[in-house]
Amino acid sequence: MADQNAKHSFGMAFGGGGIAISYPLARVLARVLDSCLMRYPHLYGSDARIYACLAELGVELSYEPGFHQIDLNGDISGLLTAHPLSPLISLHHFDRVAPLFPGMNHTMALKHFFKAVEVDPLGILQQTVCYDRLRSRTVSVSWVMQFKEYPRDQCLRPAIFFLKNMLVEKDRIQSNYSRHLSGKCLLRPNSARNLRIVTVNSQRLIRTIGKAPRRRCCNVLRSSSDIFMNIEIRKSAKVPSSHICRGSNNPNFPQNELGSFDQILTLYTVQLAPLFFFLYCYLRGYMR
């Protein structure tokens, strides 16, 4: 990969990860493709030849992070759980990496993974972060792949939960994650020692063409037992950034966002009313 990147000045999309060509560009390319291929018989592979033909047309590569060549080995769960906001498009060379889920071979893991892909294809691997203020915990949800809980203890390792099953009702999705026990670190006391099952409630993700994607918010809901944790994933509020993703199990934080500019203006006006009244009285007395 490094040699090809250097050879082609990092401007060519190559390998089985895939490329996408827009319909208008495909129409133009179809007219010149035969003659173009005759000029580049020495190039190996269709990706190199397509790159050369597009270069003649003056079209440069646009990077799309949803394509994954994956020239890696071993465990790539960290790479996938930190997936960008872009939709997942392709995963190549999957036979060279470890299965996505523990206790499964590659075939079983992919079948398990694609059960979720069929339910919510645009929400796959989309990450959101919650803060459990009552227990001083940070949790990261990479939908369908993993759930991680970061306790403040000496271990400095997150507790990892993998997708177990899902329940779907119309656009509502309930995904259940079970804890993956490994290593001696979990024997140390921490705030998540008893946590075994995590339930995540969400809605099917819908993208709007022409609008930039936004990361969803999540709340840690109250639970009657330390064995269970309930998470709610929801859309971010359409308000200024200081109000986005508010809401938690902390009673000091409001559970509902302010829904409009008028509500925000009303809140600020009510809070500043005593100050305005004081200034009015002061200026009136000063002018006398």
Confidence grade of residue 251 (pLDDT, cut at 50, 70, 90) = very low
51 pLDDT more than 90: no
Q: What's the mean pLDDT when you consider all of the chain?
A: 77
Secondary structure (H, E, C), 96-129? HECCCCCCCCHHHHHHHHHHHHHHCHHHCCCEEE
Confidence grade of residue 265 (pLDDT, cut at 50, 70, 90) = very low
Rounded (5°) CA angle 14-20-22: 140
pLDDT tens figures, 175-190: 999 888 766 555 555 5
pLDDT tens figures, 66-95: 998 888 888 888 888 888 888 899 988 888
Of 3.30.70, 3.60.15, 2.70.130, 1.10.287, the CATH number of 121-256 is: 2.70.130
Percent of the chain beyond pLDDT 90? Answer: 19
6 pLDDT more than 70: no
Exposure string over 68-103, b if 16+ CB within 10 A, otherwise e: bbbeeeeebbeebbebeeebbebbeebeebebbbee
The whole-number average pLDDT for the span 23-39 is 94
Total count of residues recorded for the chain: 288
For residue 245, the model assigns a pLDDT of 57
* Backbone CA torsion sign across 188, 192, 197, 201: negative
